[in-house]
Structure 1
Amino acid sequence: MPRFVVVLPLVPLVPGDEFTVADWPLHVTLVEPFLTDVAVADLAAAVSRIAGSAAPVRASAGEEAMFGRRRDVPVTLVRDGGELAALRSGALDALREAGVDLDRIRARSDFRPHVTRKRHAYLVPGEHISLDTLALIDMRPAEGAHHRSVIASWRLGDRDSDVSD
């Protein structure tokens, strides 16, 4: 079954961009990976509506933390004025309306926006960031399990701008 994720990248991503798991560009995960048989076009339409109605998010890097089952994944928490939680809620609602079963994700009440530290890049606490793009990522592209592929991306707040055109 296809697997997707919705992210707010810190660097521009455009459809067709590919990268390995190790080389993920820095991003805030808005909707955790989910499995679905919903058509890609329907997923993209749902995410597009959310992107068009949302304003870019101004945020800053907060304290560092450790995530993961074994608390061995270094992250930097992201501080904002609540816009990310609202955007997440809207994205979950839109995906659910498109027919995606998100019960496991919806049940999470511990959404903590963060950016995972990578060997090639990381956020420094206090650093200011602008999150102005939303991207739909294929977690299981034809290239294999260790690759990711950008399906579509949109500028936040620009109803006419579909970076995936």
Structure 2
Amino acid sequence: MARFVIVLPLMPLAAGDEFTVSNWPLHVTLVEPFATEHPAGLVADAVRAATTGTAVVRAAAGEDAMFGRRRDVPVTLVRDGGELAALRRRTLDALHRAGIDTGRLRADFRPHVTRKHHGRLHPGDRVTLDTVAVIDMRPPEGSHHRRVLDAWRLDAASDPASAPQR
């Protein structure tokens, strides 16, 4: 069974990019990891359909917080005008319409960027979230790796030239 996560990276990502778990690029998770037997193309197509015509999201870093079961994951909350929650709802609706069960997801969506050894957001930093990426959480390279299956710019989602390359 495949496992995916949908993110809005703070740096450009493209289909085929790979990274290790410890070197995740900074990002806002739009849809947390979910498992499905559906093919990657169907997942990407559903997410693309949900984001077509969506403007980039301009946001700011809010306060620092601790996430995780043991409250040991340092994050910086991301503040926007509600666009991220709306984009999440549209994306989840599109996945469900495509017959993709995302499992039990958090009801209290709190956009954030996890602090990493290679970078973080500081309270007050401005960010532009202009890319959506579908990430394979179980690539052939093994459990410590991730691969970008598809990525596109939000403002170019309706541009035929930005169609997925599969």
Match of 1:37 in 2: 37
Distance verdict in 2 for CA 1:96–1:151, change over 3 Å:
same
Query: SS at the partner of 2:155?
Result: coil
Partner of 1:118: 116
Match of 1:99 in 2: 99
Aligned to 1:24: 24
For residues 108-151 of structure 1, the C-alpha deviation after alignment (integer angstroms, 9 at most, x for no partner) is 32100000000000001100000000000000000000000000
Q: What's the CA shift for 1:157? A: 2.8
User: What residue in structure 2 maps to residue 128 of structure 1?
Assistant: 126
1:140 lines up with 2:138 in the alignment:
yes
Match of 1:47 in 2: 47
1:151 to 125, 149, 152: 149
Q: Quote how far apart the aligned CAs of 1:48 are.
A: 1.0
Structure 1: 4+ residue segments shifted above 2 A:
161-165
CA contact (8 A) 2:36 2:102 kept: no
RMSD between superposed Cα atoms in Å: 1.1
1:15 Cα deviation after fit: 0.4
Instruction: Look up the match of 1:67.
Output: 67
How far the C-alpha of 1:102 sits from its partner, in A, is 2.4
Q: Where in structure 2 are there 5+ consecutive unaligned residues?
A: none
1:64 CA drift (Å): 0.1
Could you tell me the TM-score, scaled by structure 2's length? Answer: 0.95
Distance change (3 Å), C-alpha of 1:155 and 1:12: same
Identity fraction in percent? 63
Q: Distance in 2 between matches of 1:136 and 1:76?
A: 22
| Equivalent-residue separation in structure 2 for 1:3 and 1:162 (angstroms) | 24
Question: How far apart are the structure 2 equivalents of 1:99 and 1:11?
Answer: 30
Cα distance between partner residues in 1 of 2:151 and 2:59: 20
